[in-house]
Chain A
Amino acid sequence: MTAESVLSIQGKRSSGTPVRTENVIAASSVANIVKSSLGPVGLDKMIVDDVGDVTVTNDGATILKLLEVEHPAARVLVELAQLQDEEVGDGTTSVVIIAAELLKVADELVKQKIHPTSIIAGYKLACKEACRYIQNNLTMNTDELGRDCIVAAAKTSMSSKVISIDSDFFANMVVDAAMAVRTSDGKGGYKYPIKAVNILKAHGRSATESAIINGYALNCTVASHAMTKKITNAKIACLDFSLNKEKMKLGIQVLVNDPAKLEAIRQREADITKERIEKILKAGANVILTTGGIDDLCLKYFVEAGAMAVRRCKKSDLKRIAKATGATFLTTLCNLEGEESFEPTYLGEAAEVTQERVCDDELILIKGTSARTASSLILRGPNDFYCDEMERSLHDALCVVKRVLESSSIVCGGGSVEAALSVYLESFATSLSSREQLAIGAFAQSLLLKDATDLVPKLRAYHHSSQIKTEHSQLKYYGLDLIEGQVRDNKKVGVFEPTLSKLKQLKFATEAAITILRIDDMIKLEQEPSKESGYQQALKSGQLG
């Protein structure tokens, strides 16, 4: 374009078809990276960062987060994966692949002289139709399928991860954990705050020895070794201040005229804290958890009282413990009379608090909390990478379980939804006479490219007949069995995914594809030259010469 060269800006500018193609190429190269990690026979990536830290994963969002992509269009896809991770937690790889596929097909269409806006309109229509079709025809209610299906959904999510061999074991664990943190949202429904599921990692032993603990596991140890390691019928105090020797604030000076008074002041410093500790102990507390520190000097009071004191706990942990045990999380002891006091009502209760050794670490376990149930998972694995990957997999699975439980609707996995949609959209496209027809056809096509095997035609045939003939409607649940390499009824086998995940995947992928398609101009500005110091500038301009 000749007119363009006239526009002078600080940087590079490119526009028109080249930009779109460039964006599409950038996006599909991102998708190519994660492509091989999709599905139950997907492989893992090993990523080494500049410090030398190694991550082994097959979670799309994690891979992309670590990649540090530079191209702005590719970054849109990375953000897309992150978004899916936040909103759903699973399906991060699929969403990137769908978006890239949509872009690729769109680029082809643009080259065939179809205006991008027509493609965008077509994609939007297709996405809307697809979501409607999923909701009306493909979903199943979990209530009629029961717990088995929730476990199956968790299993499906885990099938592609390192822990797939033990997916039975972990799926049950995850469902138990999610059930344990169930809270009512006050409107008759239930919420599953999966953040409340505490996951601890410890390497050593095999993955199958991971355990779920009905209670709270705290990655801390008791402050002094002289303390008892086990307390039954624990009364727990959660504090958010240090039990150190009291120091005066800034601006307060201690002036000692008489050497004899020196000792008295020192004594007093220690006594102020001692009095506090005594107040707490007098209220009946035998487990004291604090976010601050405890002086060695003060520890002896706890040891003498036979109480357990834990210092430097994480604040978020303590808040959850306070909720679970019914304790009040205290930031100060001050009461409304301006004096310091500690009421027995501030204490929380638990059946047992113990310190146990897991691998190299010692953990504090709080079991049988009184106010609410809590759950913690302790993961074991041969090495740290394995544990990290396990944690990510379990997080995905937890998210899936949460979504299934909250929305109580699922769809079949294994490409069955995609195949059904593709067949449906193709027939839908032929019913339109506008230019959007091609775009919808392309949308349908790109959905299928996901599982490009020779089984696809067969799968499509099944779905086609399921939609045409009512007596074959059961066939709509057919999907791929990638281990055996055949087509099967995924409803029977129990390959499920939450409906929400599929819907969001489609919506997000379409949105991202449209965002990138709409761009027809790219301007890269140069970094502004850093201002040199005044002296150097003066030197350059010759003022000093």
Chain B
Amino acid sequence: MATKAVPAPKTRPSKSEFKDKEKPAQIRSSNIVAAKAVADAIKTSLGPRGMDKMIQDGKGEVTITNDGATILKQMKVLHPAAKMLVELSQAQDAEAGDGTTSVVILAGAMLETSQKLLTKGFHPAAISDSLLHFSAKAVEVLESMAIPVDLTDNASLLKSANTALNSKVVHEHSGMLAPMAVDAVLKIVDPNKDQNVDLKDIHIIKKLGETVEDSQLVDGIVFTQKSQGIGGPSKIEKAKIGLIQFCISPPKTDMDNTVLIRDYAAMDRVLREERQYILNITKKIKAAGCNVLLIQKSILRDAVSDLALHLLAKQKIMVVKDIEREDIEFVCKTLGCRPIASLDHFTPEALGTAELSEEFQAGDSKFVKITGVQNPGRTVSILLRGSNKQVLEEADRSLHDALCVIRCLVKKRFLIPGGGAPEAELSVKLTQYAHTMKGMDAYCFRAFAESLEVIPGILSENAGLSPISTVTELRNRHARGETHAGINVRKGSISNIIDENVLQPLLVSTSAITLAAECVRSILKIDDIVNVIR
């Protein structure tokens, strides 16, 4: 049972007797073993032929995924050192968005090597220093093998998005999702200026139903709400869009105030006043030329009353209500409109203009889609469909990975081959470099260089190939100077991986190596665990 076998020492220093701390070496090895176990756990989901994990949480919800970061987040590991690895994969997710599995496996391999070195009598600080040197050198080598890429080069971008999607459940749809990711990112960046991409500008809307193939990239905006009101228009060309933050419903008096009626005639007046009040609002809206009205969600009272809907429908104004507070900014940015907080500010200048606003049916639910925005902001929406919740969630995660890959390319415009080629190359180059070094450092260097071969090893193992023969052949090819030789999972052989269109951004690999090295260094430096009891 995994729960019972917590190797973490539970030393409780009691007041009466003095108890010696457990030996630092033991702590270190316990940390390393725990962290390595994490790496082992997700090993099988690396690469295009990686397997999935099924995780059932306490409430019985099931997640099926092979995204390293997601698996680890869901797994709830207990050991503090293991938790560091979990955070490591989260960090990679935030930094690069892809390679979350490889970073953990790399860290695991480095830890294993460190353990061997420790038993040989190396001081942890020496190992740690050498690791720092190692990662800096590794980045250098990676940069030397990188291929510069231009953001206008659609084909290369597509290839790297495809590589990211290949290992996912949804990979049969990669032919459709990859271009979608590329288009989405390219639409929101200015290739000459931007050095980063704010993925918040890509709105991913998940909706259950149909299949992943029916997902679409919308140049404009999609609301999952249906248009309100009965008998109102469901399609408006040359839409003038107003986004209001006030309510169109009878104003509520404050708690203590009441309206007094002394006369029966006043009853009619009350009813008429209400109608007049709402009619007045709707007329003003119409007068400003608005024909599509978006209403922010209100928790205080009905954002829009039935009466108002009826009147708006009569004036041929399309109404979408319940726009979330946090979406307002995105909506404004997309449609080029201003949020209108009071009726007095409802002027034609505040409205956004679009070619078409249309309600359409997808499966059982209805959506409102606004396209052809006149002054579009740099935003884009993706409507993601999936036949069941698991597929939909996984599609979302996969698409996120693909988007991140493209973002990496915007940040750092270099590509390197995938398929274990960079790791094999690093291993060969750094071993060579180690020969030129002196002292203990050289030994550590060589050991770490060897540890990098774990990635191609696992890749080939997951693909059902023999890891030893594949890795040795790979090493041989790289030693002969074939920088781009990698494991061709589809054919089960070693070939020039660039010809196979397996490409990944440089940033993913460099950040994986630096992050993993840093994490391993901090684990190595721990020599005591103190459990504080609350």
Contacts and interface: CB of A to CB of B under 8 A. Distances in A.
B169 A8 contact: no
Nearest to B282: A336
Nearest to B315: A336
A125 to B, nearest CB: 11
Nearest to A524: B56
A513 to B, nearest CB: 13
B252 A521 contact: no
B37 A329 contact: no
Specify which of A72, A83, A334, A527 lies most central, judged by the most chain B CB atoms within 10 Å of its CB.
Answer: A334
Contacts of A518: 51-52, 64, 66, 169
Contacts of B60: 70
B79 A8 contact: yes
A253 B307 contact: no
Secondary structure at the B interface, as helix, strand, loop or mixed, is mixed
A11 B314 CA distance: 59
Contacts of A336: 279, 283, 311, 314-315
Contacts of B79: 8
A117 B49 contact: yes
A167 to B, nearest CB: 29
B324 interface: no
Interface in A82-137: 83, 86-87, 115-118, 124
B172 A3 contact: no
Interface stretch (B136-144, B269-277, B514-522): B269-277
Contact of B257 (A5, A73, A251, A528): A251
Contact of A261 (B62, B263, B271, B275): B263
B7 interface: yes
Nearest to A267: B264
Interface stretch (B38-46, B87-95, B370-378): B38-46
A86 B286 CA distance: 41
B192 interface: no
Nearest to B311: A334
B267 interface: yes
A265 B45 CA distance: 76
B276 A525 contact: no
Contact of A7 (B41, B250, B275): B41
B308 to A, nearest CB: 9
B36 interface: yes
| A23, A76, A251, A268 — most chain B CB neighbours (10 Å) | A251
Residue from A76, A240, A272, A523 with most neighbouring chain B CB atoms (10 Å) = A523
Contacts of A76: 390
A528 to B, nearest CB: 5
A525 B53 CA distance: 13
Contacts of B82: 7-8
Nearest to A504: B211
Nearest to A541: B534
A73 B387 contact: no
Interface string B362-390: 00100000000000000000000001101
A6 interface: yes
B155 interface: no
A252 B261 contact: yes
A251 B7 contact: no
A25 interface: no
B4 to A, nearest CB: 8
B526 interface: no
Given A251-B258, A254-B261, A332-B310, A9 B54 contact: no
A264 B264 contact: yes
A475 B113 CA distance: 66
Interface string A501-521: 000000010010001001111
A65 B204 CA distance: 30
Contact of A525 (B76, B264, B267): B76
B58 A9 contact: no
B237 interface: no
A9 B260 contact: no
Nearest to B286: A336
Interface residues of A, number: 75
A468 interface: no
B442 interface: no
A79 interface: yes
B5 A5 contact: yes
Interface in B224-269: 230-231, 250, 252-253, 257-265, 267-268
A363 to B, nearest CB: 25
Contacts of B40: 3-4, 7
Interface in A424-474: none
B463 interface: yes
A106 B390 CA distance: 22
Contacts of A522: 53-56
Contacts of A272: 267-268, 271
B271 A246 contact: yes
Contacts of B172: 124
Given A117-B462, A525-B76, A332 B49 contact: no
B190 interface: no
Nearest to B47: A117
Contact of B306 (A11, A332, A339, A340): A332
B78 A9 contact: yes
A117 B279 CA distance: 65
Nearest to B307: A332
B300 interface: no
A487 interface: no
A331 B463 contact: no
B3 interface: yes
Contacts of A12: 1-2
B224 to A, nearest CB: 18
A519 B250 contact: no
A229 interface: no
Contacts of B56: 72, 522-525
Interface string A250-269: 11111111000100110111
A240 B231 CA distance: 13
A79 B388 contact: yes
Contacts of A246: 267, 271
B73 to A, nearest CB: 12
Interface string A332-373: 101111111000000000000000000000000000000000
Interface in B23-72: 33-34, 36-38, 40-41, 44-45, 49, 51-60, 62, 64, 66
Contacts of B261: 248, 252-255, 265
A248 B66 CA distance: 59
Contacts of B41: 4, 7, 13, 15, 521
B75 A9 contact: yes
A249 B274 CA distance: 11
A330 interface: yes
- Taking each of A8, A241, A338, A521, which has the highest tally of chain B beta carbons within 10 Å of its own beta carbon? A8
A346 to B, nearest CB: 10
Contacts of A13: 2, 41
Interface string A201-213: 0000000000000
B74 interface: yes
A515 B169 contact: yes
B9 interface: no
B175 interface: no
A525 B57 CA distance: 5
A7 B2 contact: yes
Given A8-B2, A11-B3, A520-B51, 14 more contacts: A6-B34, A7-B2, A7-B82, A8-B37, A76-B390, A87-B387, A252-B261, A253-B260, A338-B272, A518-B52, A521-B45, A522-B54, A524-B56, A525-B76
8 contacts: A6-B36, A7-B82, A86-B209, A117-B462, A246-B267, A261-B264, A340-B275, A515-B64
Interface of A: 3-13, 15, 19, 23, 70, 72-73, 75-76, 79, 83, 86-87, 115-118, 124, 240-241, 246, 248-257, 261, 264-265, 267-269, 272, 319, 328-332, 334-340, 508, 511, 515, 518-528
The 8 closest A-B pairs by CB, nearest first: A115-B464, A7-B37, A527-B58, A268-B264, A520-B51, A6-B37, A117-B49, A518-B52
